Amino acid sequence: MEKIINIGGKDVKLNNNGGWVLEYQAQFNKDILPVILPLVAAITESLAAILAENEGNITTRGLAEAVQGRTLDILAPIYQTEVIDLVYNVTWALNKNADPEIPGPMQWVRQFETFPLDVVIPEVYGLILTGFVSSKNLERLERIKDEITKNLQPLPLMN
């Protein structure tokens, strides 16, 4: 699947077919799956725990509210990784998979005036998920995400 996202005012084409994993491995000399799969599993397990606590009887809205109350717990596995490097590198690999002519990661990231993680992470995570999760479960996750987005309260700004 290909998707174009805007990063710092530039349109960037990303492709999530299996080639991005190989691009990542070739460029960074390490396998991304041991990093990505535990993150996906941890988030999925957090959602499953919420469902189990409610014996599977929870509305999408109720799940959204439960997720909002546990945001830090659910996102903890992400924060335990080297997030910025991971996001840059995975986004670069997804872009390289879509466009083999892009430069190496250092030169590539310098082209962006800004690299808004709050915009890029959900887009990249969504693409990765579509590559690792069945379409049936993906539809359920999309409904949950939409409900969470509707009910999410903005975080207070820190002074």
What is the predicted pLDDT for the residue at 155?
Answer: 46
Mean pLDDT within 35-45: 72
Q: Residue 155 gets which letter from DSSP? A: P
Are 43 and 141 in contact by the 8 Å Cβ rule? The answer is no
Buried b vs exposed e over 23-54: b needs ≥16 C-beta within 10 Å?
bbeeeeeeebeeebeebbebbeebbeebeeee
Is the per-residue pLDDT at 151 higher than 60? no
- Model confidence band, residue 3 (pLDDT cutoffs 50, 70, 90): very high
CA distance 74 to 82: 16
Of the ranges 61-65, 87-91, 94-98, the best mean pLDDT one: 94-98
List 4's β-bridge partners, or say none.
Answer: 13
- 87 or 12, higher pLDDT: 12
Is the per-residue pLDDT at 58 higher than 50? yes
What is the predicted pLDDT for the residue at 56?
Answer: 65
pTM tops 0.75: no
pLDDT tens-digit readout, 94-134? 999 999 999 999 999 999 999 988 788 878 877 887 776 66
- 141 or 153, higher pLDDT: 141
Are 18 and 52 in contact by the 8 Å Cβ rule? The answer is no
Are 68 and 149 in contact by the 8 Å Cβ rule? The answer is no
- 141 or 20, higher pLDDT: 20
Mean pLDDT for the chain overall: 78
Q: Which two tokens stand for residue 121?
A: 């992470």
| Burial class for 96, CB neighbours closer than 10 Å (0-12, 13-18, 19+) | buried
